[in-house]
Structure 1
Amino acid sequence: MNDGLRPGDPARLGGYDVLARLGDGGMGSVFLARSPQGRRVAVKVVRPELSHDEEFRGRFRSEVNRARQVPPFCTAEVLDADPDHDPPYLVVEYVEGPSLAEVVREQGPLGAAQLHSIAVGVATALTAIHGAGVIHRDLKPANVLVAPGGIKVIDFGIARAFEATSQHTRTNQMVGTVSYMAPERFDTASGRPVGPAADIFAWGAVVAHAATGRNPFGGDSATATAMRILTQPPDLTGLDGPLRELVSRALEKDPAARPTARELLDGLLTAGYSAGAGGSAQILGATPMASVSPAAGTGGQDQRSTGPGLATAARASWRRRGWFTVLGAAATVIAVLVSVSLFAPQLLQGRSGPDRADSPANGSPPASTPAATVSAAASGTPTVSPSASVDPTRAMLTGQRRFLLHVVEIDRDLSLPSHGELEVGDGTGKDALFVLEPVGVDYMIKSVNPDIAHRPCLGVKLDAKGYKSLVGAECYATAATLFGIAREGRDDKGRTSYSLINEEHGVVQWSPTKKEIYVEFLGDAPIDTTFSLVDRGAV
């Protein structure tokens, strides 16, 4: 809704002329503005109290760079941001059209065809968002726009910059709307990172709201709603057919029991259901591939790449995970493409998403390398069984070969002795051998030193002064033990070099002054420490 400008509202933000106030939210205010090129855009101005929080600015910058990698066919495209402005702001595509919340409020529960369109459109958007390595964290009816050209999901990814700053964790604040929060989001003491499954839970609640006009866990207060989410089954009265089963699965308490976004699309697009109840359901979220050309997508990404550093590394890795799969077949409807093949290349590459340059662009192994055999168990977990001549790099990235973790800049190798303190050395001892354990799109890095009975995985340790070191940790997938591996280039031996990025704490770096490995949150600063994986045989 256009509320006009109020006293105290800015007339200009950076190069954008502010025209009207569109609304307010937990993160700040949203304005309609005009860009220097005359384009109408939406500008979100964050809360003033965050303006002088340097940790927030760094996270905000990195999250914006990551969100820019989401294909814009079913989301509001991120166009610009200035985390150094006072106050910081974010510029996104302005989308004409009411929100799903407004549609349901004014028209009541949706009919079968329109409901199916909403379900497919939001699931398609989540597939693209998750494929780019982003988690929405605040999916709700108000963030789903019913635009003339299709469903658009807005406000994705940036929530983490707000939620993860020390200012918010100290006060136990969470970003989001309680009615659409997954159970794991209330378990702040566990230290486990919130994953894509939380967005799937929100999808189920959003679709249930669109079908019934109410939230499936609605209570008299936020506390009552949270307790129902944690302890009670959803109330799906009024939602029938195959969609009810999908929504029920999405609302499982256990994140591991929920389908992925791609699996939601598989269910929505199966024969006999995608046409609705005997009719033809218009898929508003489906866009022909011709509207998302490889040339246009690639050019836009290259223009945004401003240097090396954490943001660039994230752009490189997440871009390959997202655009690589979305641009696979230019004549296919995107919803069908995503449901069939979004993650197929990633499986065939043995989860080697960060290292696409070592693999052909079409998702199949090199001609000289027999294809890996990919199978899926009943649980949907892929297993990759490479043939004897499989590419060692690919095998290392799937956890099937041991390696030395070589620090390129100092020509030394990491080791994890039994005392649990990380060291650098010449790579000749058994404590210098590691193996990767894939966890989603990230990895745990595990020592294969037989003398280490506990804490064999690398993890980030934060001391009382805020210094972050890399030490031995128990092999549980937590915010401290999960690392992204993003390709940076080649070392002096021609091997692929990588940066190691812990999403919660920062980039793994070498300190020339302290002569040790540490972890630093860089924002857009250059990464000056890279690693190569030196093959040391099968596990």
Structure 2
Amino acid sequence: MRPEPLRPHDPVRLGSYELVGRLGEGGMGTVYLAKTAAGTQVAVKVVRADLSPDDEFRRRFRSEVARARQVPPFCTAEVLDADPDADHPYLVVEYVDGPTLAQVVDDRGPLTAANLHSVAIGVATALTAIHGAGVIHRDLKPRNVLLAPGTPKVIDFGIARAVGSTATGNTAPEFMMGTVAYMAPERFGDAEVPLTAAADIFAWGGVVMYAGTGRTPFGGDSPPATAGRILTQEPDLSGLPDPLRELVAYALRKNPAERPSARELLDLLVAGPSRPAATAAALAGQPDLRAAASQAQSVTGVLTAPAPGTPAGLGQPVATGEPPVPEGPTVPVSAVPGLVEPDRPDGRRRRWFLPAAILVLILAVVAGTMMIVFGSPADPTAGPAGTTPATTSAPAPAPPAGPVLITDDLDKNRLWLAKTEPDGRSSCVFTGGELHVRIVARPLYKCRGPQDTLPEDLTIDVGVRLLTDGACAAVWYHFKLPHGGRLVRICQDNIFVGTHQSAEVTVTRTLPLDNPIAVGGPPTRIGLHVTGETVTVTRDGVSLGDAPLGNVEIMGNRVLLGVFLDRDTPDTGSAEVAFDHIEVRGPSAPGPR
């Protein structure tokens, strides 16, 4: 996808990013192709000038960017950076050089069976990652799916919308003709009812239908006609191959509580008992897609197998790492005899009606098309942590470790030392057989540790407890003053892997925790196994996943322990964590990096 030249009024630099071309415009602003100081291409979305003075927009933009940055990069365009406090707030995401699904289908027709299954798996993988981080996409459609080399990429998720947006995400003037076709029925309901992840699942069904047939399941010749069919009619899935047709029908159920979760869709696509040959062929030909799906499954739990004789994915309870999708608002549908919900547990049925207000709302959507352009096809950018699954896969063994280089029980001054700052706002003290690290109205603090020269490949194992809400335990490695080092933050719901240089903290991988760390609970053993350009993170001996070290130049070799305030906690708050018994080992076998 070729960028257009910059226009005379366009900026040429934002922060440390050099802008080199225009990639498109959308409801939130303009998208530029940019280069980092290292020459890496990225996409930068710059907020429209009329939105910049809006304090409420900035607050929502800041909050949603923070959450979107926690989304693991499984079939998504990764959020890399943002500055919500700049004169013109901007968002930096991974640049994906590939056509949109809409462009491919428009130019070449529906996808072949193997490619269709690849898209179905890729989008389900992306939604598993997005929902697992507590984010809702809110505008999934073919134009927001890029067919990049390796895996499909879902873009433009979870970030504050433009004119008319609300926190609910329900129908507003910005939703235009191309978007209405992928909107769930509940989005035409009460604007005060919060949007749930089930709306993205409905959109998944529409996207897969479009990819496989070139048309949407509720096609109409106008937005009101399309919306009316979404509210009152069953989807037309003719031409879609089995068993995808069954899964798409499952995703397009009127009642949001009856749709599967993203994780359930992913399990049924890649590991269901009736997995089609096309799915196996799609995975066999795309190892990156297989790896992304496997990683998404590894951090969100495992599907319970359907009971014998029951169609895959229909009516089966699912144990997942995602929060259960709450039932959304009922969508009234009138003048449709016989359109009712399934029997409720109390034996009653609930009939759906379509009041005139809904039609007025739909007409407002049409009126909005004359005033707002939601986005151009050239835009190439892109619930709380899960509950404990009822069934889990066999734990991956912890990576092997080599000889012990450092060991300390952290119960008294030895290799790590006690210290309290003169202002009393930061301290490292030994109490109860642990090293307690505490901060007040500060973002972070590091305890003084050993000066040993450690190898680049090493294994760190340490006990961690979180003692206050909003506290994250921090382990630095490859550290050197004053340059900084690599950083792993262990928080209640997630573990963040990245770097810390000067005041800049970056994240290369977010590992959601299916079983959150209880504040004040017993110690959990955190392991970091660094080999080559990868670090493997374990919890109580079970692998949580791998993360790249990144291409940032790190020159140090020390290990430090400390505390971080969670990004959602005000800087005026306090945080306290505890560590016990740390062990640092060398590589299990010598070898070149």
Q: Which amino acid aligns with 1:276?
A: A
- CA deviations over 1:51-73 (Å, ceiling 9, x no partner): 01111111111111111111113
Cα distance in structure 2, aligned partners of 1:15 and 1:118: 35
Q: Which amino acid aligns with 1:185?
A: R
SS of residue in 2 equivalent to 1:49: coil
Q: Cα gap change, 1:26/1:188 in structure 2, threshold over 3 Å: closer, same or farther?
A: farther
Correspondence 1:268 to 2:269: yes
Selected match of 1:184 from 186, 195, 199: 186
Q: Which amino acid aligns with 2:128?
A: T
Q: Cα gap change, 1:98/1:280 in structure 2, threshold over 3 Å: closer, same or farther?
A: closer
| Residue 218 of structure 1, CA deviation | 2.2
Q: Which residue of 2 is the match for residue 469 of structure 1? A: none
| Residue 132 of structure 1, CA deviation | 1.1
Q: Which amino acid aligns with 1:84?
A: D
Q: Which residue of 2 is the match for residue 124 of structure 1? A: 125
Q: Cα gap change, 1:101/1:229 in structure 2, threshold over 3 Å: closer, same or farther?
A: same
SS of residue in 1 equivalent to 2:289: coil
Cα distance in structure 1, aligned partners of 2:37 and 2:123: 31
8 A contact 2:133–2:384 mirrored in 1: no
SS of residue in 2 equivalent to 1:72: coil
Q: Which residue of 2 is the match for residue 19 of structure 1? A: 20
Q: Cα gap change, 1:526/1:208 in structure 2, threshold over 3 Å: closer, same or farther?
A: same
Q: Which residue of 1 is the match for residue 570 of structure 2? A: 525
8 A contact 2:77–2:96 mirrored in 1: yes
| Residue 188 of structure 1, CA deviation | 3.1
Cα distance in structure 2, aligned partners of 1:162 and 1:36: 33
8 A contact 2:132–2:384 mirrored in 1: no
Q: Which amino acid aligns with 1:47?
A: R
Q: Which amino acid aligns with 2:103?
A: E
- Larger helix share, 1 or 2: 1
Percent of aligned pairs with the same amino acid: 57
Correspondence 1:48 to 2:59: no
Q: Cα gap change, 1:6/1:266 in structure 2, threshold over 3 Å: closer, same or farther?
A: same
Cα distance in structure 1, aligned partners of 2:83 and 2:198: 30
| Residue 195 of structure 1, CA deviation | 0.6
Q: Cα gap change, 1:353/1:203 in structure 2, threshold over 3 Å: closer, same or farther?
A: closer
Correspondence 1:218 to 2:219: yes
Q: Could you list the runs of 5+ residues in structure 1 that have no partner in the other structure?
A: 293-321, 329-339, 357-361, 365-407, 410-440, 442-484, 495-521, 531-539
Q: Cα gap change, 1:142/1:354 in structure 2, threshold over 3 Å: closer, same or farther?
A: closer
Query: Which structure carries more relative contact order (alpha carbon 8 Å, separation 6+)?
Result: 2
Q: Which amino acid aligns with 2:73?
A: P
Q: Which amino acid aligns with 1:93?
A: E
| Residue 277 of structure 1, CA deviation | 8.4
Q: Cα gap change, 1:172/1:136 in structure 2, threshold over 3 Å: closer, same or farther?
A: closer
Cα distance in structure 1, aligned partners of 2:8 and 2:120: 40
Q: Could you list the runs of 5+ residues in structure 2 that have no partner in the other structure?
A: 303-316, 325-382, 389-393, 397-467, 470-492, 494-514, 524-566, 576-593
8 A contact 2:74–2:292 mirrored in 1: no
Q: Which residue of 2 is the match for residue 325 of structure 1? A: 299
- CA deviations over 1:87-119 (Å, ceiling 9, x no partner): 211000011111111111111011111101100
8 A contact 2:300–2:386 mirrored in 1: no
Correspondence 1:153 to 2:127: no
8 A contact 1:99–1:142 mirrored in 2: yes
Correspondence 1:286 to 2:289: yes
Q: Cα gap change, 1:20/1:137 in structure 2, threshold over 3 Å: closer, same or farther?
A: same
Correspondence 1:343 to 2:320: yes
8 A contact 2:169–2:195 mirrored in 1: no
Cα distance in structure 1, aligned partners of 2:101 and 2:387: 39
Cα distance in structure 2, aligned partners of 1:523 and 1:57: 15
Q: Cα gap change, 1:158/1:323 in structure 2, threshold over 3 Å: closer, same or farther?
A: farther
Cα distance in structure 2, aligned partners of 1:45 and 1:24: 9
8 A contact 1:69–1:132 mirrored in 2: yes
Cα distance in structure 2, aligned partners of 1:222 and 1:25: 20
SS of residue in 2 equivalent to 1:32: strand
Cα distance in structure 2, aligned partners of 1:186 and 1:346: 24
Cα distance in structure 1, aligned partners of 2:293 and 2:231: 43
Q: Cα gap change, 1:245/1:283 in structure 2, threshold over 3 Å: closer, same or farther?
A: farther
Q: Cα gap change, 1:217/1:157 in structure 2, threshold over 3 Å: closer, same or farther?
A: same
Q: Which amino acid aligns with 2:570?
A: A
Q: Which amino acid aligns with 2:137?
A: H
Q: Cα gap change, 1:268/1:290 in structure 2, threshold over 3 Å: closer, same or farther?
A: closer
8 A contact 2:131–2:322 mirrored in 1: no
| Residue 240 of structure 1, CA deviation | 2.5
Q: Cα gap change, 1:291/1:363 in structure 2, threshold over 3 Å: closer, same or farther?
A: closer
Cα distance in structure 2, aligned partners of 1:147 and 1:213: 20
Cα distance in structure 2, aligned partners of 1:80 and 1:219: 39
Q: Cα gap change, 1:242/1:165 in structure 2, threshold over 3 Å: closer, same or farther?
A: closer
Q: Which residue of 1 is the match for residue 509 of structure 2? A: none
Q: Which residue of 2 is the match for residue 199 of structure 1? A: 200
Given the two structures, how large is their TM-score scaled by the length of structure 2?
0.50
SS of residue in 2 equivalent to 1:103: helix
Q: Which amino acid aligns with 1:325?
A: V
| Residue 142 of structure 1, CA deviation | 0.9
8 A contact 1:135–1:157 mirrored in 2: yes
Q: Cα gap change, 1:157/1:123 in structure 2, threshold over 3 Å: closer, same or farther?
A: same
8 A contact 1:143–1:153 mirrored in 2: yes
Cα distance in structure 1, aligned partners of 2:167 and 2:265: 35
- CA deviations over 1:267-304 (Å, ceiling 9, x no partner): 21224434228966556562437997xxxxxxxxxxxx
Q: Cα gap change, 1:352/1:3 in structure 2, threshold over 3 Å: closer, same or farther?
A: closer
Q: Which residue of 2 is the match for residue 92 of structure 1? A: 93
Q: CA RMSD in A?
A: 4.3
Correspondence 1:242 to 2:287: no
8 A contact 2:165–2:172 mirrored in 1: no
8 A contact 2:47–2:90 mirrored in 1: yes
Q: Which amino acid aligns with 1:525?
A: P
Q: Which residue of 2 is the match for residue 295 of structure 1? A: none
Correspondence 1:65 to 2:66: yes
Q: Which amino acid aligns with 2:320?
A: F
8 A contact 2:266–2:293 mirrored in 1: no
Q: Cα gap change, 1:15/1:175 in structure 2, threshold over 3 Å: closer, same or farther?
A: farther
Q: Which amino acid aligns with 2:201?
A: I
Given the two structures, how large is their TM-score scaled by the length of structure 1?
0.55
- CA deviations over 1:6-62 (Å, ceiling 9, x no partner): 232221112111111111222222110001222100011122221011111111111
SS of residue in 1 equivalent to 2:216: coil
| Residue 526 of structure 1, CA deviation | 3.6
| Residue 352 of structure 1, CA deviation | 10
Q: Cα gap change, 1:342/1:126 in structure 2, threshold over 3 Å: closer, same or farther?
A: farther
